[in-house]
């Protein structure tokens, strides 16, 4: 009889079927990540929509369907419209300020000078530090009595102690404060994006433009800017998404005050949904972010697609 050795590899070969088929293996390897995201991002997103259409509170967890009643009630509340306006002012004010600072900063950092590496490291700091900790540092600088900013202005003779601004007590100044903190947080990011973009522009393109007679401004705004636009756009999209939905700066610095002057969508959703336990209305408030996010996502997709062509 043929007692020739049974191929030892047999039990392994069944296993190898999975390990050798690229398409099967790829699916198996990407599955855990997809599942995690589906279960803890996709599912909650659906839940948020369901909550917003129900009368769910933590005291009375019912799935009673109420249609769009929550949204109607929210829109009829005049302070909500202020919240919406505040959110836009906060987002676009801080992004604009951040971009302007970023453009100038990048322009300076492009020139070689001694100590540039250290300067760059210092300028990155605001983007690196956890936002909650940065906010409380600014809170201390905006303190009503011990503000170092007021101290400096008084010492410089700009204001007297009596008329020194109460940064967080005045509605307009409080809005300015949260805009400044957020712009402060994002401008290093803008600088780095601009720098990465500008250094990626091939030098021969710039040289060709110079030879053709393009001056400084022309090179900047008609050659370099259009070339780095996709990259700047992606940076801006990040900034807009994370500012529009932010809650930490307002929560720690002003608690939406004074008198609702700095209340933003994320904060309002938190107050209603978590603090007051009215999950249905809280979810509905948060969902007002969705249209803006969708617009942003469509833009992102367009830029990513364009890159491929």
Partner 1 sequence: MPEPLARSLRVTGFSLGVAFFVILAAFPFYWMAITAFKQNSDLYDITNIPFWFNEPPTLEHIRYLFKETLFARWLSNSLIIGVCVTAITLVTAVPAGYSLARMTSRKGEALGIAIFLTYLVPPTLLFLPLSRIVTELGLQNSMWSLVLVYPTFTIPFCSWLLMGFFKALPIEIEEAAIVDGCSVFCAFIKMAVPLSLPAILTVVIFTFTLTLQEFVYALTFISSSDQKPITLGVSTDLIRGDVFFWGEIMAGALIAAVPVAIAYNLFLDRFIAGITGGAVK
Any contact of residue 245 with partner 1 (CB under 8 A)?
yes
Buried/exposed code over 259-269 (b: 16+ C-beta within 10 A; e: otherwise): eebbbbbbbbb
Question: For partner 1, which residue of 11, 32, 78, 213 counts as binding (CB under 8 A)?
Answer: 32
User: Minimal CA–CA distance to 232: which of 196, 183, 180, 181?
Assistant: 196
What is the nearest approach in angstroms of partner 1 to the Cβ of residue 6? 20
Question: For partner 1, which residue of 190, 192, 223, 224 counts as binding (CB under 8 A)?
Answer: 192
Choose the stretch contacting partner 1; rule: CB under 8 A; options: 66-74, 88-96, 188-196, 255-263.
188-196
Positions in 104-143 near partner 1 (CB under 8 A)? 104-105, 108, 111, 113, 119, 121-138, 140-141, 143
Q: Which residues contact 287 (CB under 8 A, 6 or more apart)?
A: 48, 49, 52
- Cα dihedral sign for 237, 238, 239, 244? positive
Question: For partner 1, which residue of 165, 252, 257, 258 counts as binding (CB under 8 A)?
Answer: 252
Question: For partner 1, which residue of 69, 175, 227, 261 counts as binding (CB under 8 A)?
Answer: 227
Nearer to partner 1, 2 or 305 (CB): 305
Any contact of residue 145 with partner 1 (CB under 8 A)?
yes
What is the nearest approach in angstroms of partner 1 to the Cβ of residue 1? 31
Any contact of residue 16 with partner 1 (CB under 8 A)?
yes
Nearer to partner 1, 122 or 208 (CB): 122
User: Minimal CA–CA distance to 184: which of 67, 58, 93, 64?
Assistant: 93
Any contact of residue 41 with partner 1 (CB under 8 A)?
yes
Positions in 256-275 near partner 1 (CB under 8 A)? 265-266, 269-270, 273-274
Choose the stretch contacting partner 1; rule: CB under 8 A; options: 17-25, 71-79, 89-97, 165-173.
17-25
Positions in 54-93 near partner 1 (CB under 8 A)? none
Any contact of residue 45 with partner 1 (CB under 8 A)?
yes
What is the nearest approach in angstroms of partner 1 to the Cβ of residue 309? 13
* Under 8 Å between Cβ of 186 and 127: yes
Any contact of residue 293 with partner 1 (CB under 8 A)?
yes
Question: For partner 1, which residue of 98, 188, 239, 256 counts as binding (CB under 8 A)?
Answer: 188
């Amino acid at each position: 009889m043929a007692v020739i050795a049974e191929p030892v590899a047999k039990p392994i070969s069944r296993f190898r079927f999975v390990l050798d088929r690229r398409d099967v293996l790829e699916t198996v390897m990407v599955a855990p990540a997809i599942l995690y995201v589906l279960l803890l991002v996709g599912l909650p997103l659906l839940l948020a929509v369901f909550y917003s259409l129900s009368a769910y509170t933590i005291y009375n967890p019912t799935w009673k369907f109420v249609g769009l009643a929550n949204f109607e009630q929210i829109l009829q509340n005049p302070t909500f419209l202020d919240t919406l306006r505040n959110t836009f002012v906060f987002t676009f004010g801080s992004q604009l300020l951040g971009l302007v600072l970023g453009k100038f900063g990048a322009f300076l950092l492009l020139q070689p000078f001694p100590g540039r590496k250290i300067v760059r490291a210092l300028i990155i700091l605001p983007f690196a530090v956890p936002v909650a900790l940065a906010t409380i540092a600014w809170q201390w600088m905006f303190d009503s009595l011990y503000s170092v900013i007021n101290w400096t202005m008084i010492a410089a003779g700009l204001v007297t102690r009596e008329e020194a601004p109460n940064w967080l007590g005045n509605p307009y100044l409080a809005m300015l404060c949260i805009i400044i903190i957020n712009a402060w947080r994002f401008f290093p990011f803008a600088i780095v994006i601009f720098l990465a973009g500008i250094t990626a522009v091939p030098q021969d393109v710039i040289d060709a433009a110079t030879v053709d007679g393009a001056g400084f401004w022309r090179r900047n705004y008609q050659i370099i800017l259009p070339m780095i636009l996709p990259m700047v756009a992606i940076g801006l999209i990040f900034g807009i998404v994370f500012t529009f939905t932010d809650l930490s700066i307002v929560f720690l610095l002003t608690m939406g005050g004074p008198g609702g002057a700095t209340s933003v969508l994320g904060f309002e959703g938190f107050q209603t949904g978590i603090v007051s336990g009215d999950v249905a209305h809280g979810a509905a408030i948060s969902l007002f972010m969705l249209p803006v996010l969708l617009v942003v996502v469509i833009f992102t997709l367009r830029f990513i697609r364009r890159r491929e062509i």
